[in-house]
């Protein structure tokens, strides 16, 4: 009886995200202690499915899967299923991204990081800082950020998060204050006006 294997690699389908499938394949090899390239290639080609195997053969022509390493096969599939996006287009999308109405600073920055993935920025933190300052919807916050003499990304993010929390606290306090006032007015004894005939 053979050694127990952990996990399972199902055939790759066009509807799947290739990068996710590739990562799962790498984790499968790691979990099962498979480090030999010949074994990795054999297991991968056995599991990947007929449709993807045909794609691999066509991408490698005139070579065959036996003539190349698993790394070379994966590189070919990377270019086929996940071609590198145009850097200029990606930078345009990044710079065009502004905070949406009702969107938190954390979500805004999270999306900026995602958009920056293929931008090739040499100084990503500076780009994120600039986009926070120029892209926030709150004018008071924007003025606060512009007033900082030495503003880096970390400081800009901290200020924006603190400003957002303060705004939320003020809104909650004022909201609760109004509710308390409304209840107080509701429970306050009403002054009964005397009728004209009793004056």
Domain boundaries, the chain: 18-81, 87-187
Give whole-number Cα distances, 55 to 67, 81, 94, in Å.
16, 10, 33
Query: Per-residue pLDDT tens for 4-56?
Result: 677 777 898 878 888 899 999 999 999 999 999 999 999 999 999 999 999 99
More confident residue, 194 or 150: 150
How many CB atoms lie under 10 A from the CB of residue 34? 15
Average the pLDDT over 85-108 and give the result. Answer: 95
In percent, how much of the chain has pLDDT > 70?
86
Q: How confident is the model at residue 195 (pLDDT cuts 50, 70, 90)?
A: very low
Give whole-number Cα distances, 23 to 40, 115, 199, in Å.
13, 21, 89
Residues with Cβ < 8 Å from 126, sequence gap 6 or more? 152, 153
> What's the pLDDT at 4?
61
Entry pTM: 0.56
CA distance 178 to 56: 67
Residues with Cβ < 8 Å from 80, sequence gap 6 or more? 55, 59
Mean per-residue pLDDT of the chain:
85
CA distance 63 to 15: 27
CA distance 33 to 46: 18
């Amino acid at each position: 009886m053979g050694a127990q294997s952990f996990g399972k690699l199902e055939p790759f389908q066009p509807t799947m995200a290739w990068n996710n499938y590739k990562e799962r394949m790498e984790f499968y090899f790691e979990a099962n202690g498979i480090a030999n390239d010949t074994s990795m290639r054999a297991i991968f080609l056995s599991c990947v499915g007929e449709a993807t195997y045909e794609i691999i053969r066509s991408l490698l022509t005139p070579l065959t899967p036996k003539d190349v390493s698993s790394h070379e096969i994966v590189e070919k599939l990377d270019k086929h299923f996940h071609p590198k996006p145009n850097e200029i287009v990606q930078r345009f999308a990044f710079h065009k991204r502004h905070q949406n109405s009702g969107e938190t600073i954390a979500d805004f920055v999270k999306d900026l990081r995602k958009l920056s993935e293929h931008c090739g920025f040499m100084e990503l933190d500076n780009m994120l800082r600039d986009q926070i300052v120029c892209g926030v919807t709150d004018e008071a916050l924007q003025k606060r950020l512009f007033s900082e003499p030495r503003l880096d990304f970390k400081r800009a993010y901290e200020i924006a998060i603190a400003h957002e929390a303060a705004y939320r606290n003020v809104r909650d306090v004022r909201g609760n204050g109004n509710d308390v006032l409304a209840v107080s007015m509701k429970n306050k004894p009403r002054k009964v006006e005397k009728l004209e005939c009793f004056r």
